[in-house]
Amino acid sequence: MLSPITLDREYQAAIAPYAGYVPPVPSDARSLRTQNDAAISAVLSGFDAPESSVKETTIPYGSSQRLLHRFVPDSASGKKGCILYIHGGGLVSGSVPLFRKDIIRYAVETGLPFYAPAYRLAPEHPFPAALEDVYAALEYLRDHAQEEGIDPSKIAVMGVSAGGGIAAGVALMARDKGFQPSIRKLVLIYPMLDDRTNLGADHPLNEHLTWTMKKNEIGWGAYLSGQEATEYAAPARVKDVSGLPRTYIDIGGLDLFRDEAMAFAAKLVAANVETEFHLYPGVPHGWEWISAKAMVTKKAIQNRVWALADL
């Protein structure tokens, strides 16, 4: 018998004003994109980021001339590492402009430059389009390290939600291709790793999910587009994780991705990959944006900053 679910008290207080809100149920990838982008815009529009402390520019990169967004904090100095940041959105939505305040927060807190690729989205561009765009951005940073003023041996890859799954796939691809210098660190924030996740309709966690099974099915369906999932598409399927970079993972206890994130962390530990894992009880997917002042959020942000700065 499953134990009763308890919400973090500060998170519960933060969502109290929305208690009567029933979110619409998406019917396909495009309706999911509309809903997701509106929700991300709403929660991040009120987030107070020190925007004046960061210089933002864009760089065309790769054979398809995608845009790589560069965020350099005023506190950055000298030749140091950088972060390749992969935004979330369930594989079908999201954009760098929507996530820019999140990026700015971490750039200012770490004093490191951040680079965020505008990767292609499903269903218009199914797998491997997003993976190829992000891998090309990684190659760009290595090949243009001198002109960017960064140390190519200190490139970390950070992914949020669906971006976490893409980041893990890129790390696997970099390992298998012999990418050098190797990725310094992998930072996965509640990553979307497994297309097979299925809670069942009567699971008590369903009541608290912000990213639901229905959304997950639509996102994976659009991304895979009838293809058989490989470990690059769904990194939870990987059998051998040896040789991956040092990895940081965090996840909320009420997140649909909880068990897949825990299982991936366990694989890394078993393979002697240096791994830091945090499970935050009582909070769901993306909780920190709506409960910015909660203690659980402050702890999570600080742990992420420490992980990112440790290059």
- Measured CA to CA, the distance from residue 195 to residue 231 in angstroms comes to 10
The amino acid that residue 311 corresponds to is: L
Write down the pLDDT at residue 200: 87
> Residue 123 contacts by C-beta under 8 Å, 6 or more apart in sequence?
29, 30, 92, 222, 225
Write down the pLDDT at residue 2: 61
CA 310 to chain centre: 18
> Residue 27 contacts by C-beta under 8 Å, 6 or more apart in sequence?
none
Write down the pLDDT at residue 275: 98
H or E segment to which residue 3 belongs: none
> Under a CB-based contact definition with an 8 Å cutoff, are residues 51 and 101 in contact?
yes
Write down the pLDDT at residue 133: 97
Count CB-CB contacts under 10 A for residue 117: 28
> Under a CB-based contact definition with an 8 Å cutoff, are residues 184 and 214 in contact?
no
Q: What burial class does residue 149 get, using C-beta atoms within 10 Å of its C-beta: 0-12 exposed, 13-18 middle, 19+ buried?
A: middle
Nearest to 288 by CA among 259, 251, 263, 257: 251
| 195: its two tokens | 């297309």
Write down the pLDDT at residue 234: 98
Nearest to 115 by CA among 168, 64, 163: 163
Write down the pLDDT at residue 202: 87
CATH homologous superfamily for 9-309?
Alpha/Beta hydrolase fold, catalytic domain (3.40.50.1820)
Burial 177-197 (b: 16+ CB within 10 A, else e): eebeeebbbbbbbbbbbbbeb
Strands 150-160 and 185-189 turn out to be parallel
| 4 backbone dihedrals φ, ψ, rounded to 5° | -65, 150
> Under a CB-based contact definition with an 8 Å cutoff, are residues 213 and 206 in contact?
yes
Instruction: Read off the pLDDT of residues 70-94 as tens digits, 9 standing for 90 and up.
Output: 999 998 777 789 999 999 999 999 9
| 137: its two tokens | 């951005």
For the chain, give every domain's residue range.
Answer: 9-309
Ranges under pLDDT 50 in the chain: none
Write down the pLDDT at residue 47: 82
H or E segment to which residue 106 belongs: helix 96-110
> Under a CB-based contact definition with an 8 Å cutoff, are residues 97 and 67 in contact?
no
